[in-house]
Structures are given as C-alpha cells and as structure tokens.
C-alpha cells in the first residue's frame, strides 16, 4: 500500500508516535459493523465503532470506542461525563477529528479529544478499528489501543 490517503497516513503516524505500529488493511468499505466484520472475517463484537459525541452543555467533543454490537447508553454516559451527550453533525465531526463520518479513527484526530472505550472490547484477543477512511482498518490488541489512546474503559451499553 504505497498510495495511502492522507487521512490513513495521519492515523499511522499518530499511532506510531504513541508506540503502536499499525498494519492497515484496505477493504471494499463498510456501512455497518456487520459489513466491516464480514470484510475482515471476524465478528461484529470485535469491530470498534469510533463515535464522536458532543457535550450538550459544554460543546466538548468525546470520542467513544464502542463494540460493533452495542449502542451507546446516552443516559449512562451522562452519568459518567457529567453532562448529556448529543450527536454532532458531519461538519463538527470533520472539524474536530479531521475525518469524515465512517472513517473516524482512534488516532490522528486534528484536536485532542477525551477517549472512552467500551469495556466489552477487552473480552477479545484483537479488535478492528477504522484507519481514517471507511475502507481502511487495522487490527490491534485492546489493551494496546487503550494505552496508546489514553482511553478510559467504561460500560458504554
């Protein structure tokens, strides 16, 4: 893969700077965790959905790394974060992360974002996450992802 998109290179470089070397795989693309799981031959539970939310009071961004089989319990997250969450529009996501929706990665965001990680992801030996585009993904050990992103493990669902 010599001709990687800039967003993917940014993800690889940021992960490497944080001590994690990524082997990025290009797929045909996926619009759901189930499609992503099929593309890499795994279960949806091992797919990481990188979801950006915004604090309803502060406007602060929060990146939630969620198992592909879970939906975010927004009331539960309000208890954890101290404010309700709202789903931002695509312009906010791109401005904060530098990525389009569907390609948001745990690394390479254009701003510093607090990261929370679904504790159920630690049940798997490896997990798969987006690498900057809807077509590019990488596999890693959950503990390595947590360490490299500084993620706070929480019950998401």
pLDDT (tens digit per residue) in 134-157: 999 999 999 999 999 999 999 998
Match 């159920």 to its residue by tokens: 120
| CA–CA distance, 112 with 61 (Å, rounded to integer) | 9
Q: Is residue 134 part of a domain?
A: no
Say if residues 133 and 54 touch (Cβ distance below 8 Å).
no
Q: Is residue 65 part of a domain?
A: yes
Q: Which tens digits make up the pLDDT trace of 74-85?
A: 999 999 999 999
Q: Looking at residue 2, what is its pLDDT?
A: 63
Q: Is residue 2 part of a domain?
A: no
Q: Looking at residue 3, what is its pLDDT?
A: 87
Angstrom CA distances, 30 to 44, 49, 68, stand at 12, 12, 12
**And the tokens for 21?**
């070397």
Q: Is residue 7 part of a domain?
A: no
Average pLDDT over residues 106-114: 94
Task: Please give the residue range of the domain that contains residue 41.
Answer: 30-102+110-129+139-154
Q: Which tens digits make up the pLDDT trace of 28-57?
A: 988 889 999 999 999 999 999 999 999 999
Whole-prediction pTM: 0.95
Q: Looking at residue 116, what is its pLDDT?
A: 97
Q: Is residue 20 part of a domain?
A: no
User: Which DSSP string corresponds to the chain?
Assistant: --S--HHHHHHHHHHHHTT----EEE-S--SSHHHHHHHHTS-GGGEEEEEEEEETTT--EEEEEEETT----HHHHHHHHSS-EEPPPHHHHHHHHSS-TT---SS--SS---EEEEGGGGGSS-EEEE-SSTTEEEEE-HHHHHHHHT-EEE---
Match 């990680």 to its residue by tokens: 117
Q: Is residue 83 part of a domain?
A: yes
- Report how many domains make up the chain: 1
Give CA angle at 24 (153, 102), nearest 5°.
Answer: 65
Count the neighbouring beta carbons within 10 Å of the beta carbon of residue 135. 19
């Amino acid at each position: 893969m010599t001709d990687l998109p800039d967003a993917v290179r940014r993800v690889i470089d940021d992960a490497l700077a944080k001590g994690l070397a990524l082997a990025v795989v290009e797929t045909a693309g996926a619009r759901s965790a189930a499609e992503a799981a099929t593309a890499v031959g795994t279960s949806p539970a091992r797919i990481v959905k990188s979801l950006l939310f915004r604090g309803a009071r502060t406007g602060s961004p929060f990146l939630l790394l969620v198992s592909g089989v879970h939906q975010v319990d927004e009331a539960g997250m309000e208890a954890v974060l101290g404010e309700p969450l709202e789903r931002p529009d695509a312009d906010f996501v791109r401005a904060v992360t530098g990525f389009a929706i569907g390609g948001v990665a745990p690394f390479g965001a254009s701003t510093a974002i607090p990261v929370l990680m679904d504790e159920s992801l630690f049940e798997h030996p490896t997990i798969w996450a987006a690498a900057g585009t809807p077509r590019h993904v990488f596999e890693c050990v959950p503990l390595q992802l947590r360490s490299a992103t500084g993620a706070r493990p929480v019950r998401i669902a």
